Amino acid sequence: MEGSAQHLWWQSGVIYQIYPRSFKDTSGNGIGDLKGVIEKLDYLTKTLGVDAIWLSPFYPSPMADFGYDVSNYTDVHPLFGNLEVFDNLVAQAHQRNLKIIIDLVPNHTSHQHPWFQESRANRQNPKRDWYVWRDAKDDGRLPNNWLSVFGGPAWEWDEATGQYYLHSFLKEQPDLNWRNLEVKDAMFAVARFWMERGVDGFRIDVAHYIMKDPKLRDNPPNQSLGTEMHKSLGPYDSQIHLYDKGHSDVHEVYRQFRKLLDAYGEGQPRTSIGEIHIFDWPVWASYYGKNLDELHMPFNFSLLGVTWQAQAVRERVDTLESALPMGGWPNYVLGNHDEPRLASKLGEKAARVAAMLLLTLRGTPTLYYGDELGMRDVPIPSEKQQDPWGIRVPGLGRDPQRTPMQWDDGSNAGFSSPEVRELWLPLAENYREVNVASQLEQSDSILNLYRSLLAYRRANRALQVGAYHPLDDVPEDCFVYLRETTDGNQVLVVLNFSSKAQQLHLNGLGKGNLVISTYLDRTGEVDLSSLPLRGDEGIMVELRS
């Protein structure tokens, strides 16, 4: 559905993230692929009812970081298909009015990318300066104290040319030098390539990392022992990451990137969503641009690390609302391929309340594949571990949240055909109960809750684009807010974050029509001046004006 004249698809719609390796395997190798996504387009649009998909990387890659190490930005890895399959995916998605957002990885390439191969060939190579090369300090020490997110120093010695190169992630992911304008031109050409193939937008990997301190100064130590992030990142937290990312020159790059997207926007508005783990809200908000002329949205990760308690969540939402620049469009994320699964963090009942929260707050929600089933983190035995982060820094592995989608109760869960001997990651043990086919049959399943929430949201302008008004004077364990349009369409959302029953007295609101409970077992008239709520229940009530 297109938004109204003032709101575009990426504002009124819901985004669903697909991790292509784990969605649906059609080739029989235990790894998902793009034909698998095509096969499931009706699931996405008709059964579930989302508006856009974001595909994590499907490009040629040696897979040191499962595709976030790209060796060719303008092709498809044969594991996933080819450009023809990709074009078919875009065409078939667009026929269903489903938008396609792809992952752009501008901070680093694979060490096997021809650009890096040339850059490391010799110091005179024209692409030498496309990456960040530095001499050792006089006594042979590293150029500075920067750390790799994935453990160890961010510098790797290159014996052949006698210099270090910078890698903010794995040594197989050398950082590009965005201060060289040819790098910018090359990456903008990549964006053009995909827009010409019809993509509707980009999710930009670690968008703030591309510009570092030009003098490459040492980061100060982090004396607080805490983390600047939403979760602990192990040894990486021993520094304040002042100089290794987010230099203010980054804004000019995104201003230019926005102009590029706008130039392709006539008749097909494109979007850009930055993966920006910044929790200092004014700094985070600066990525919208002073004149809303940079990224359409920096991902908002404020609810990932929050204590799951009504007032704490409300506080994060209100802080975010007040940090937004005038006209800046909000968005919310509760899960992705880097984070523990929602149902594992919260349990199923609270995960249902979380679903209602995500799909009723003001702003674009991004859902992570499988969360609609309440999929859980799957314990991975050490010999099956894949994620390099978990192998390097035990405890930080992301395999548990990347396991194959659970489609049905057959062997291989309908992810791969039954003859396939081994999937790239093991299936959840509970897949015979927790899968799409079974949950569609079960009227009160979490999948049916997501479907109801999505269907209701689709038909309701107050939820898509209306204002947000939190209500005070409610029980401490409840978060209550109104979504409303100026023409009087009002939906009240009442969420009980505790397992205890609650009695609410929302005087002055009269009676309303309860349209969805997270238990999916009641609808109809309710008296808001005396409103009982069960433990872990969320409800949505249409108000009468």
By CB under 6 A, tell whether 338 contacts ligand NOJ: yes
Round to whole Å and give the CA distance between 437 and 444.
13
Nearer to ligand NOJ, 206 or 375 (CB): 206
Binding mask 189-218 for ligand NOJ (x = CB under 6 A): ----------------xx------------
Longest dimension (CA), the chain: 77
Mark whether 205 is an active-site residue: yes
Round to whole Å and give the CA distance between 502 and 191.
51
From 237, 244, 275, 339, active-site residue: 275
Nearer to ligand NOJ, 68 or 130 (CB): 68
List 65, 371, 372, 536, residue binding ligand NOJ (CB under 6 A): 65
Binding mask 102-141 for ligand NOJ (x = CB under 6 A): ---x------------------------------------
What is the SS3 assignment for 259?
helix
Please report how close the Cβ of residue 389 comes to ligand NOJ at its closest, in angstroms.
7
Mark whether 275 is an active-site residue: yes
User: Quick one: how far is CA 455 from the chain centroid?
Assistant: 22
Nearer to ligand NOJ, 68 or 450 (CB): 68
By CB under 6 A, tell whether 169 contacts ligand NOJ: yes
DSSP 340: -
By CB under 6 A, tell whether 51 contacts ligand NOJ: no
Round to whole Å and give the CA distance between 240 and 394.
22
From 205, 237, 372, 377, active-site residue: 205
Please report how close the Cβ of residue 516 comes to ligand NOJ at its closest, in angstroms.
32
Smallest CA-to-CA distance from 412 within 30, 18, 80 is with 30
Smallest CA-to-CA distance from 403 within 421, 382, 380 is with 380
By CB under 6 A, tell whether 70 contacts ligand NOJ: no
Partners of 165 in the β-ladder: 133, 156
Nearer to ligand NOJ, 65 or 237 (CB): 65
CB atoms within 10 A of CB 292: 14
CB 334 within 8 A of CB 306: no
Q: Please, what's the b/e burial string for 517-536 (b: 16 or more CB within 10 A of its CB; e: otherwise)?
A: bbebeeeeebebeebebbeb
By CB under 6 A, tell whether 68 contacts ligand NOJ: yes
Nearer to ligand NOJ, 273 or 359 (CB): 273
Please report how close the Cβ of residue 43 comes to ligand NOJ at its closest, in angstroms.
24
- H helix runs in 359-416, sequence order: 388-392
Positions marked active-site = 205, 275
Instruction: Point out which residues bind ligand NOJ (CB under 6 A).
Output: 65, 68, 105, 169, 205-206, 275, 337-338
